[in-house]
Amino acid sequence: MPLDLYYHPISPPSKAVLATAKYLNISINVKEVDLFGGETRTSEYLKLNPSHTVPTLVDNGFAMFESRAILQYLANKYAPDNTIYPKNPEARAQVDKILFFDASSYYASLSKAFIPILIFKKEASKEALDELAEKISILESLLGEQKFFAGENITLADISLGASVPVMKMFFKDMWPKKLESWYIRLSESVPQLPELK
């Protein structure tokens, strides 16, 4: 039975889950949710995901939300030997470090900067842009001279970060450094489900 993914195409975390599933050849039944029409706040949806966000994954009755946790679940259950989420504790900790930085720091700053533009048609504040610039600088430092964020192989960390790059480029193109663009090009060559950079 395929897994159900409650999804919206505007959501980078939704795209990360879909790209990971396709990369791992996991059959996914995509259910597009009307994010702006209140569908995530229905009683049925709130039973699956009380935080009324996307994505939500349902695997044979087991419901999960929070995209990075979903990525880890998919890798653990359906691709336990794949280097996308290494078994070695130190290597896995490197992936988790980037995933948690993405969730709590980089994507949070990106959202603070782009949501006013997208939803309210207002410019991002200088404070939000300064904070985002700092997080981008940290990403550059974390990548260093490696091919990918946790070493020489693509991992969940890369796909999670990669799903938000098109948003970054769309709204804040001048802030996106060439070093990270080169990383994204390498990543998208192997994970074609990620959008092309415009």
Task: Give the residue numbers marked as catalytic.
Answer: 11
For residue 3, the cross-strand partners are 28
Which of 94, 93, 175, 190 lies closest to 140, judged by CA?
Answer: 175
Give the whole-angstrom CA distance, residue 81 versus residue 78. 9
Give the whole-angstrom CA distance, residue 161 versus residue 171. 16
- Collapsing DSSP to helix, strand or coil, 65 comes out as strand
- Collapsing DSSP to helix, strand or coil, 197 comes out as coil
Give me 44's structure tokens. Answer: 């049925």
**Dihedral, CA of residue 72, residue 17, residue 68 and residue 139, to nearest 10:** 110
Asked whether 46 and 53 are in contact (CB, 8 A), the reply is no
